[in-house]
Structure 1
Amino acid sequence: MDLLLSGLDILARWDVVLALLTGSVGGVLIGAIPGVGPAVAIAILLPATFSMDPIVGLTVLLGIYGSSMYGGAIPAILINTPGTAVNALTTYDGFPMTTRGEARRAISLAYSASFFGGIFSVICLMLFSPVLAKVAPMFGSREIFLAALLGIILVVTAHRRQTLIAAALACFGIFINTIGLEPVKYSKRYTFDQSFLSGGIDLIVVVLGLFALSQAFFLLQGEDEKTRINRLKGGLFQGLRELARHPRVAGVSASFGVLMGMIPGVGEFTAQFMSYTYAQKTSKRPEDFGHGSSEGLIAAETANNAVPAAAMVPLLALGIPGEALTAMMLSVFYVHNVVPGPQLFQNQMDFVVALYLALLILNVMVLVFLLFATNQLIKVVKIPNRFLGVAILTLSFVGVYSLRNSVTDCVIAALFGVLGFILKRLSLPIVPIILGMVLGGIMEVKLRAGMARVKTFPDFFMDGRGDDASLRPIAVILFLLIIAVLALHVRRAWADHKELKEAKWSTKHSSTHIGAQLSRRRSFILAERGKKRRAERSMLSRRSTDKS
């Protein structure tokens, strides 16, 4: 109770309340505009949050992160265009409901499911906070190194059929982080005697380039689309009552979101598809899924909104971000000398509770806002893409220049923007680069600190030597998890290879079989034509004989 009151005391400030309101409303607006997304908005706002108090800056970013998925459901349901990438599954059942005249019902149900998922995950994590506070101090340098390594491996293996390119991009991110002065002896690495590289390449510059500038280039090269949306009639409270009729689907989907959110590199997509598959297999009407099923819409929206709060667990407890958005938030911690990890749970538990309370209040504010402002909000869907592209481009360069008043940073951001644009056009992942930069730095520092007492490989999992040696159980568990993840990935890759090989053989065999059938058919037709011609010639010869 004391922690709860301390957390409320931290939030009871006018600037924190204003940050909550700005983040929640701004996140909904950003999510409702197709083609922008929370990553672009957070990247643009990052430089501005560095001058704020940690709780204020993080509250703004959390507001955008947690509320953007609410707004992303609006265009997904109304015009079959997801506002954010994680709302893609919402189109499966949301848009079919719109086509049969149930747009208000679909929007209301999406809001209600999102609200339930967000509240469920925050309450779960607040209840688990005492456990996390006890477990977090058990992580030393070696455990955090292994956890960061596991995070990179999970991120890479999550990109199925793109594992090699994801690994290469993650390694590229690690390499970028090594440029400049190394953190122990401050010797120069990969600077090539260029003074502007001595300070390294700033994470925010790379983030703004890869996410914001690349998206601006993407919007500028496209064409503006004219979108017509009809006004929604009636109240939007119906979804809360309908959600109550599907407690099993909502509860299981929210649980999937919490579990998947805590695992680095997994995130909303896995949680959504697991929830959607479960809901379809256990439904009494599985044939409705993909054609306007209320259960399918609940599963998709509940799962993706349960992830943001859960994704804060590895960030706060270990200082390890699980995806790009939490990696951006990590930079806000570092700027204000607030180091997430075991010490944060030991010394600033009230700060952690305040962040979770902010997420709880955020969901309430977003729901109230959406229930009364949806008809005005849907107008943002009509904003032209090229106008958005110019606005993002301008704000991004202003943000990059404001970091260090450096034109060089603007040039570097532009180069990464071109790289991000190329990767998007090739449908290749961008997130591994950012996580490679963040987790690579953590791995280097923690490995150097941990190796001071390590002489042989078994020493990595032991404290002390000889009879005084004791096992480090968490290090052993993390190492076994790494081995298990790699083994499962190799098994899955081999199964994919066999499936692809069988598909190629089947295609080749079927084409050969079809070719043989066509050849036999052609021979039969030619033979029949020959018989017919011979019969006609024989008949003509008989007629000529009869006449003579």
Structure 2
Amino acid sequence: MDLILSAFEILMRWDVALALLAGSVGGVLIGAIPGVGPAVAIAILLPATFSMDPIVGLTVLLGIYGSSMYGGAIPAILINTPGTAVNALTTYDGYPMTARGEPRRALSLAYSASFYGGVFSVVCLILFAPLLAKVAPLFGSREIFLAALLGIILVVVAHRGQALIAGALAAFGIFIQTIGLEPVKYSQRYTFDQDFLGSGINLIVVVLGLFALSQAFVLLMDEDEKVHLTKLRGGMFQGLRELSRHPRIATVSASFGVLMGMIPGVGEFTAQFMSYTYAQKTSKRPQDFGNGSSEGLIAAETANNAVPAAAMVPLLALGIPGEALTAMMLSVFYVHNVVPGPALFQNRMDFVVALYLALLILNVLVLIFLLMATKSLIKVVKIPNRFLGVCILTLSFVGVYSLRNSATDCVMAAAFGMIGYILKRLSLPAVPIILGMVLGGIMEVKLRAGMARVKEPLDFIDRPVAFILFLIIVIVLVAHTIRVLKDRKERKEAEWQTKTSSTNFGGLMLRRKSSFLKGRGKQVRARHSKLLRRLTDLF
């Protein structure tokens, strides 16, 4: 109880309250605009948060991260266009509700499910915070290195069908991190005698380039789309009553979100599809899924909003981000010399609980705001793409230049913006690059520190937590290899069946064509013989 009271004292400041309000409302607005998303907004705001207190800066970023999915449901339900990538599954059942004249019911249900998922995950993590405080000291340099390595492996294998390119991009991120002064002897690496590379490539420059500038280029290149909005009818509070009729689906979906959020590299998509599949298989009306099922909408929205709070666990407990957004937040910790990891849970537990309480208050603020302001809020969907692109481009370059007052950083950000644009057009992931940069630095430092007491290779995993992490890494790699081989075998079997069926069909068509030609030949010869007899009789 004393811990919660001290956490509330941290939050009871006017600047923290203002940050909560700005983050929650701003996140909803950003999420409601298709094509922007929280990654772009957080990338743009990062330079500004460096001058704030850690709790204020992180509260703003957490507000945007946690509330953007609420806003992303608005265009997903009304115009069948997800506001953020994780709202794609919301369109399956949200838009069919709109098509049959129930947009307000769908929005209200989405808000209620999101609120339940967000509050459920925060309550779970506050209850488990003492347990995390006991487990965190068991992680030394070797354990954190193995955890970071596991994080990169999970991120790579999570890109099913693109694991090879994801691994290459993660390796590229690790290479970028090595440019500049190495952290032990401070010798130059990969600078090629260029002064501007001596201090390395700034993470924020890469983030702004890959996410903000690349998205600006996409918006500027694409044509503006005409949006036709449906009028809202009905009460906005009916979703709360309807959610209470499906407590099992809401609770199981939120549990999936908490579990998947704590695993680096997994995130919202896996939690969503697991909860959606569970809801469909256990539903009395599975045929309604994809056609406006309230259970399907609850499963999708509850799961994705339970992830943000859970994703903070590996970040705070081990200093290991599981995705691009938490990797950006990690830089705010480092700027203010607040190092996430076991020491944070031992020495600053009130700070950790304050962050979770901020997420709890954030969900309440967002729900109240959305229930009251949805009718006015939906107008942001009509903002033209190119106008958004120009705004993002301008704000991004201002943010990059403000880091070190360097025009070179702007050029480098533009270069990474082009790389990000190419990756977007090729439908390739940019997240592994960022996680490679962040986790690569952690791995290098922890590996050097851990190797000081290692005499033989097996000494590296001679402690229980290190051995468990090593075992998990082996299991993940073996399972992924088996899955790849199985997919390849199924693909070959499918290709063989297609080839066989096409060959059989081709042979059948040839036989039919041959018999048809033979029949036509007989008919032609008969006509010629008849014509010859007539000519003979005539002459």
User: What TM-score results when the alignment is normalised by the length of structure 1?
Assistant: 0.97
Counterpart-to-counterpart distance in 2, 1:381 and 1:231:
14
Residue 544 of structure 1 and its aligned partner are, at CA, apart by 5.8
Query: Where does residue 264 of structure 2 map in the other structure?
Result: 264
Query: Is 2:528 the partner of 1:510?
Result: no
Query: Is 2:495 the partner of 1:497?
Result: no
Counterpart-to-counterpart distance in 2, 1:264 and 1:543:
90
Counterpart-to-counterpart distance in 1, 2:228 and 2:489:
47
The AA in structure 2 aligned to 1:474 is V
Query: Where does residue 374 of structure 1 map in the other structure?
Result: 374
Counterpart-to-counterpart distance in 2, 1:107 and 1:523:
62
Query: Where does residue 515 of structure 2 map in the other structure?
Result: 524
Residue 157 of structure 1 and its aligned partner are, at CA, apart by 0.4
Q: CA RMSD in A?
A: 1.0
Q: How does 1:165-184 map to 2 (within 5 A)?
A: 165-184=165-184
The AA in structure 2 aligned to 1:275 is S
Which stretch shows the higher mean deviation, 221-230 or 154-163? 221-230
Is the 2:316–2:340 contact (alpha carbons within 8 Å) kept by the matching residues of 1? yes
Q: How does 1:106-505 map to 2 (within 5 A)?
A: 106-462=106-462, 472-505=463-496
Q: How does 1:52-63 map to 2 (within 5 A)?
A: 52-63=52-63
Which stretch shows the higher mean deviation, 505-514 or 62-71? 505-514
Counterpart-to-counterpart distance in 2, 1:245 and 1:418:
49
Query: Where does residue 19 of structure 2 map in the other structure?
Result: 19
Query: Where does residue 469 of structure 1 map in the other structure?
Result: none
Which stretch shows the higher mean deviation, 206-215 or 228-237? 228-237
The AA in structure 2 aligned to 1:249 is I
Counterpart-to-counterpart distance in 2, 1:112 and 1:37:
21
The AA in structure 2 aligned to 1:359 is L
Is the 2:98–2:230 contact (alpha carbons within 8 Å) kept by the matching residues of 1? no
Counterpart-to-counterpart distance in 2, 1:28 and 1:344:
30
Is the 2:103–2:230 contact (alpha carbons within 8 Å) kept by the matching residues of 1? no
Residue 545 of structure 1 and its aligned partner are, at CA, apart by 6.6
Query: Where does residue 93 of structure 1 map in the other structure?
Result: 93
Residue 511 of structure 1 and its aligned partner are, at CA, apart by 1.7
Give CA-to-partner distance per residue, 1:496-519, whole Å, 9 cap, x none.
Answer: 111111122122222211111111
Counterpart-to-counterpart distance in 2, 1:294 and 1:5:
39
Give CA-to-partner distance per residue, 1:304-324, whole Å, 9 cap, x none.
Answer: 000000000000000000000
Give CA-to-partner distance per residue, 1:74-120, whole Å, 9 cap, x none.
Answer: 00000000000000000011111101101111001000000000000
Counterpart-to-counterpart distance in 1, 2:304 and 2:109:
14
Is the 2:210–2:430 contact (alpha carbons within 8 Å) kept by the matching residues of 1? yes
Counterpart-to-counterpart distance in 2, 1:544 and 1:168:
82
Query: Where does residue 468 of structure 1 map in the other structure?
Result: none
Give CA-to-partner distance per residue, 1:435-460, whole Å, 9 cap, x none.
Answer: 00000000000000000000111111
Counterpart-to-counterpart distance in 1, 2:36 and 2:468:
40
SS of corresponding position for 2:468: helix
Give the share of equivalent positions with the same residue, in percent. 81
The AA in structure 2 aligned to 1:79 is I
Give CA-to-partner distance per residue, 1:420-446, whole Å, 9 cap, x none.
Answer: 000000000000000000000000000
User: What TM-score results when the alignment is normalised by the length of structure 2?
Assistant: 0.99
Counterpart-to-counterpart distance in 2, 1:544 and 1:195:
101
SS of corresponding position for 1:52: coil
The AA in structure 1 aligned to 2:448 is R
Is the 2:461–2:470 contact (alpha carbons within 8 Å) kept by the matching residues of 1? no
The AA in structure 1 aligned to 2:445 is V
The AA in structure 2 aligned to 1:461 is I
Which stretch shows the higher mean deviation, 521-530 or 316-325? 521-530
Residue 535 of structure 1 and its aligned partner are, at CA, apart by 2.8
Give CA-to-partner distance per residue, 1:321-376, whole Å, 9 cap, x none.
Answer: 00000000000000000000000000000000000000000000000000000010
Counterpart-to-counterpart distance in 2, 1:322 and 1:541:
88
The AA in structure 2 aligned to 1:60 is V
Counterpart-to-counterpart distance in 2, 1:533 and 1:156:
67
Which stretch shows the higher mean deviation, 186-195 or 34-43? 186-195
Q: How does 1:31-70 map to 2 (within 5 A)?
A: 31-70=31-70
Counterpart-to-counterpart distance in 2, 1:524 and 1:295:
57
Is the 2:249–2:279 contact (alpha carbons within 8 Å) kept by the matching residues of 1? yes
Residue-pair matches, total: 539
Which stretch shows the higher mean deviation, 508-517 or 210-219? 508-517
Residue 543 of structure 1 and its aligned partner are, at CA, apart by 5.2
Runs of at least 5 residues in structure 1 that lack an aligned partner in the other structure: 463-471
Is the 2:76–2:94 contact (alpha carbons within 8 Å) kept by the matching residues of 1? yes
